[in-house]
Structure 1
Amino acid sequence: MCIFVKKLRLRSYITALFCVLTASVFSQTVRKYSNEFMNIGVDAAALGMSSAMTSHTSDVNSGYWNPAGLLKLEDNQLALMHSSYFANIANYDYIAFAKPLDKNSVIGVSLIRFAVDDILNTTQLIDEQGNINYDRISLFSTADYGLTFSYARSLPVRGLNYGVNAKIIRRIIGDFASSWGFGFDAGVQFETDNDWKFGVMARDITTTFNAWTINEDEFKKVQDAVEGQNQELPETTEITIPKLQIGVSKLFDFNYDYTLLAAANLNVRFEENNDIISSSFASVNPALGFEFGYIDMVYLRAGVGNFQNELQIDDITEKLTFQPSFGVGFKYNGIQIDYAFTDIGDQSVALYSNVFSLKVDFSFFR
């Protein structure tokens, strides 16, 4: 009897992560929070400023933050980033390239991959006779991909630029299910003569749809392996509702060698949630970011964002939480290396992530 109980416990422990992953995808008919991996952010420099980038982003990473910022490029640029989440269980990787076509237009392309690899598939761990056979364990990955094509162009108004993104989303859960999704973003930036910058970024403006294809044979193995599973196949449609980001920033110079960039964002979702400002129509979450620079070579960054009114255990009182971030950067001869230390949740959770990114400006190698 004891051996049998131990077998059941072993089976439950190994399948726990797999069940969580599949349930997170198939739990609702139409999910409004799909493709959340596309909201994590890219570039350690930006994450060190709590993602307050909408108004002043001006490099290859603008394809993500606001494609209008690509107009600031003078030559080709390449960017790379890697970070790990959840105690190195999940890996987040990013690569981007942008190229000016002429003085009035720029194109770019970027790819994001967020994945948990080498997950144990134990649906066949116990054979028909009730015996555990470890040779029946296999590995699979759950991976999300976001491929973005960007185009930016200047408008006939001085200081005003616009940009658009076309996104292709690919999500895969081993051999069990996969999906395709498509969506669009649009953004504008405006810079005044006294160096004030303003920006607006509309994400998923047409509502991004994901259509899932489920492998019924593999999904049935999950149902058979986990007691109490619903025997009906889940629905297969997800939507990503539009979001709006509004930003303002200004760069201050001190004695030619020192600079201070101050930036603020208002991140708007058209729903009611736990954001610091929330109504039945929309919720607003502010973010503040600062970057101190020395001779355009060394940078120190800090930011705060993700303000949430979290309901406490008594279901009555609320507590205001926030997400702090810090970062450093170094730039020399067209190569920039950045690092960010940021909490993926809020300041009360000890799940901090180390983010590294690299940016190469080809103009210095001509």
Structure 2
Amino acid sequence: MLNRLYLLINKFTVSSGFLAGLIVVISLSPALALGDKYAGEFLKIGMGVREMSLGGSVVAAAQNASAVYWNPAALAAKPVLSGEFMHTEEFAGVLNLDYVALALPGSADWSYGFGFFRSGVDGIPDTRSALIDENGNGELDPGERLNFGKIGTFGASENALFFAMARPMNARLNIGGTIKTLYKSLGISNAWGVGFDLAAQFQLLPDLFLGAILRDVTTTFLYYPDGDNEFIAPSLQLGAAYSISPVFLPVIFRPSLGLDINLEGETNQSDLNLGFISAGVRLGLEMQVKEHIMLRIGRDNLGSTHVGFGLNTPIGSIDYGLAMGGSYAELGQSHRIGLTLHFAELGRYVKEYL
């Protein structure tokens, strides 16, 4: 499987038409657009507190271990050995998201990354065995009741394991790819799947970066033991990120833009539509005050507003994010906490001060 990913990455065409080529790949595959509508929805939530606070507009501005998901090509920037940890309570704590990722500098031209993501709802009441069914029809009829002593619980979770690798093609272009293994469970039912993503990051100007990631390149299939299958159609994310350093001000502004393109004909939550192609716009702005304080605001592809802040230290960063609700405001706010550690610096500090 690793050899397959290596071959996929090395087949990238290094030319000015690279992004156009990605668009053509999915535009020529309308049949694949008929994938199961929500099969891969949990992966669209995103990972990383900084990234989610910017509305996910980070395809061109992925950093450290979060690049494993957002744009594996960014790993080619030779990140320090670092780990990222995130815990999120979405919709007032109903849905829990957890993410762990690791970025490794690697050897020669290659860099690597690993990640694990879980989306889960736990403690769902199971009343199937609790019904005192006097009519024998399997329904709760008037006058019937539940035996609360027989109510159990079950959980539902969606999981993804990532392995990413990246390399520079020249001074301005990086490419990368990801293998992802998916596992879904609902009570005793479960499904497995494997997918591939391909990505690129291009430095157009000293402070302007472009990015692209083609997700589920070969279509990601999910297999159930009972023979049912789901599949996730290819989709494309494009991004741009710029850095502005005003003269005589101790701040840096980093606006970013993202565009999610899909072929599933979904128009209700899309900002742009052209036939069966639709697109959602992501916007983000990060303000760095001196070297340590980060303030963030973003708008995701569903129109929801996100805010957050971060505190940078030599050994890592602590981040907090808040989703304001937007399309799902009635479900409550979502709180996110993240921690990034640079292990080499952490080890040096431990040796120096302990």
Q: TM-score range by the shorter chain?
A: 0.7 to 0.9
Larger Rg: 1
Structure 1 residue 243 corresponds to structure 2 residue 270: no
Q: 1:70 deviation in Å?
A: 1.1
Task: Please tell me the residue identity of whatever aligns with 2:37.
Answer: K
Match among 265, 273, 292 for residue 272 of structure 1: 265
Task: Please tell me the residue identity of whatever aligns with 1:262.
Answer: P
The residue aligned with 1:294 is 289
Structure 1 residue 114 corresponds to structure 2 residue 119: yes
The residue aligned with 1:45 is 50
Q: Secondary structure at the match of 2:242?
A: strand
Q: 1:262 deviation in Å?
A: 0.9
Distance 1:289 1:154 in 2: 26
Q: Secondary structure at the match of 2:327?
A: coil
Distance 1:132 1:297 in 2: 56
The residue aligned with 1:360 is 341
Match among 182, 185, 208 for residue 172 of structure 1: 185
Q: Secondary structure at the match of 1:306?
A: coil
- Give CA deviations for 1:170-191 in whole Å, capped at 9, x if unaligned: 001112x110011110100011
CA contact (8 A) 1:185 1:202 kept: yes
Aligned length: 302
Structure 1 residue 337 corresponds to structure 2 residue 330: no
CA contact (8 A) 1:74 1:363 kept: no
Match among 308, 313, 324 for residue 305 of structure 2: 324
Q: 1:344 deviation in Å?
A: 4.8
- Give CA deviations for 1:149-200 in whole Å, capped at 9, x if unaligned: 1111111x2111111000110001112x110011110100011342210111
Task: Please tell me the residue identity of whatever aligns with 1:259.
Answer: I
Q: How does 1:68-87 map to 2 (within 5 A)?
A: 68-87=73-92
Match among 122, 125, 136 for residue 150 of structure 2: 136
Moved more, 30-39 or 261-270: 30-39
Q: How does 1:5-24 map to 2 (within 5 A)?
A: none
Task: Please tell me the residue identity of whatever aligns with 2:266.
Answer: N
Distance 1:131 1:340 in 2: 43
Q: Secondary structure at the match of 2:185?
A: strand
Change (3 A) 1:292 1:135: same
Moved more, 269-278 or 197-206: 269-278
The residue aligned with 2:94 is 89
**Length-normalised TM-score, structure 2:** 0.80
Change (3 A) 1:170 1:361: same
What 5-or-longer segments of structure 1 have no aligned partner? 1-28, 215-234, 308-321
The residue aligned with 1:184 is 196
The residue aligned with 2:6 is none
Task: Please tell me the residue identity of whatever aligns with 1:354.
Answer: H
Change (3 A) 1:347 1:114: closer
Distance 1:49 1:74 in 2: 21
Q: 1:343 deviation in Å?
A: 3.6
Q: How does 1:139-288 map to 2 (within 5 A)?
A: 139-155=153-169, 157-175=170-188, 177-214=189-226, 236-254=228-246, 255=248, 257-274=250-267, 275-288=270-283
Change (3 A) 1:74 1:339: same
Distance 2:199 2:212 in 1: 5
Distance 2:231 2:146 in 1: 40
The residue aligned with 2:352 is none
Distance 1:143 1:104 in 2: 37
Distance 1:355 1:133 in 2: 38
Task: Please tell me the residue identity of whatever aligns with 1:158.
Answer: A
Q: Secondary structure at the match of 1:45?
A: helix
The percentage of counterpart residues that share the same residue type is 27
What 5-or-longer segments of structure 2 have no aligned partner? 1-33, 135-143, 349-354
CA contact (8 A) 1:168 1:180 kept: yes
CA contact (8 A) 1:206 1:242 kept: yes
Distance 2:217 2:287 in 1: 34
Q: Secondary structure at the match of 2:106?
A: strand
CA contact (8 A) 2:305 2:326 kept: no
Q: Secondary structure at the match of 2:42?
A: helix
**Length-normalised TM-score, structure 1:** 0.78
Structure 1 residue 125 corresponds to structure 2 residue 118: no
Distance 1:103 1:300 in 2: 36
Q: Secondary structure at the match of 2:119?
A: strand
Distance 1:47 1:74 in 2: 20
Change (3 A) 1:348 1:354: closer
Q: 1:345 deviation in Å?
A: 4.5
Distance 2:326 2:205 in 1: 38
CA contact (8 A) 2:320 2:337 kept: yes
Task: Please tell me the residue identity of whatever aligns with 2:264.
Answer: E
Task: Please tell me the residue identity of whatever aligns with 2:327.
Answer: D
Q: Secondary structure at the match of 1:163?
A: strand
CA contact (8 A) 1:78 1:96 kept: yes
Task: Please tell me the residue identity of whatever aligns with 1:323.
Answer: S
